[in-house]
Amino acid sequence: MTVRTRRVWRVSSGTLVAVWLFVALAGLAVPALAVLTWLRSGELLISVFLLVLAVGAVIYGWRFGLHPRLIATTAGVEVVNPGRRTDISWDDLTVIAPGENGLVLGTEEARTEAWCVQKSKSAARKGRTTRADAIVAELEDLRDRFDPPLEDELTGIQLRRARQADLDLLTSLERAASEAGLTHIFDPKQYTYPTDAVRRRWRRLLRDRRVHIRVLEEYGKPAGLVAWDTRGQLRHLAVSPRYANQGHGSLLLQYATEELMATGTRELFLWVLEDNLKARGFYRSRGWRDTDERAESEFPPHPVELKMVRTNPQAPRRRAA
């Protein structure tokens, strides 16, 4: 089977037909009207104005309807919008997501939108799958092909980027881990797990170009997740109860810590529930330390969280004054 190494997307077929009709109308009907006006009334000024209007309309239709495109190659993606081209390599691409104004593509440094692929606000609100979602999935497949996830064939372990379609998976992994290890803090008889709020948070993080999310799988089965951001914060770490005490949490933490240290951030940090003694011991045994900073957690009954930090030995030293 031949694998395509170049893929091009333009506006949808319905939009394309509408644009061609507009261009044809502007390019044929308006000039014809200009000629008829000049022949019948001799109004040269009006005829010239109509011709200029027709040329402008044709250029506008081509520039904003037919010209925009999204191109994927072995090197990365190229976004072609009116007046601007943006190239992003696969290893720099942190976000691929549908958007109302265009397909959202982002790196840690910048964000752009491919105007040729859009998902309406109505479709997003109703949770309806559209052409934009299919293109997002195809781009995610290409990214994994040209910048593949980490994989150990001997153990069946794979550490891959989270996808937009993983929204429910991330929510369920976090919920399973929380319900297994935090019932002494969040009494399930009094506090229903905030599934909707957690899902909204993951939706937001999946679209945040400064947040990196990885899913750990064992022989294709989801076992855990980890998320961190460019500010040096470890945002989330969760392991499915089915895979607890098998070293998956240590693997996820080690990977995220190395990625965070590689950014040069002087001090890494995370927030953990003060009464989650097991998690605090886990982090302390791997080089993290408690601080005096405390904050109220997000969900009822709003238990106290404390901040833990770890110094980055790879961060550049400050020069002496």
Q: Rounded distance, CA 19 to CA 66, Å?
A: 7
User: Residues 224-265: pLDDT tens digits?
Assistant: 999 999 999 999 999 999 999 999 999 999 999 999 999 889
Residues paired with residue 77 on neighbouring β-strands, in sequence order: 72, 88
pLDDT of 82 over the 70 cut: yes
Mean pLDDT of 32-47: 78
Q: What is the pLDDT of residue 321?
A: 45
What does the pLDDT look like over 141-177, one tens digit per residue?
Answer: 999 999 999 999 889 999 999 999 999 999 999 999 9
Answer yes or no: is pLDDT of 320 > 50.
no
Q: Give residue 39's pLDDT.
A: 78
**Counting beta carbons within 10 angstroms of the beta carbon of residue 207, is it exposed (0 to 12), middle (13 to 18) or buried (19 or more)?**
middle
Residue 63 predicted with pLDDT over 70: no
DSSP state string for 265-300: -SEEEEEEETT-HHHHHHHHTTT-EEEEEEEE-SST
- As a whole number of angstroms, the distance between CA 164 and CA 104 comes to 12
Residues 268, 257: contact at Cβ < 8 Å?
Answer: yes
pLDDT at residue 62, as a whole number: 61
Average pLDDT over residues 37-43: 77
- When pLDDT is cut at 50, 70 and 90, the band that residue 43 belongs to is confident
Higher pLDDT pick, 65 / 176: 176
Average the pLDDT over 183-188 and give the result.
94
Quote the percentage of the chain above a pLDDT of 90. Answer: 69
Question: What average pLDDT does the chain have?
Answer: 90
Per-residue confidence band for 53, with pLDDT thresholds at 50, 70 and 90? confident
Which residues share a beta bridge with 215? 160, 225
Q: Measure Cα distances from 318 to 35, 231, 258, 261, 315 in Å.
A: 74, 18, 21, 16, 9
Q: What is the pTM of this model?
A: 0.85
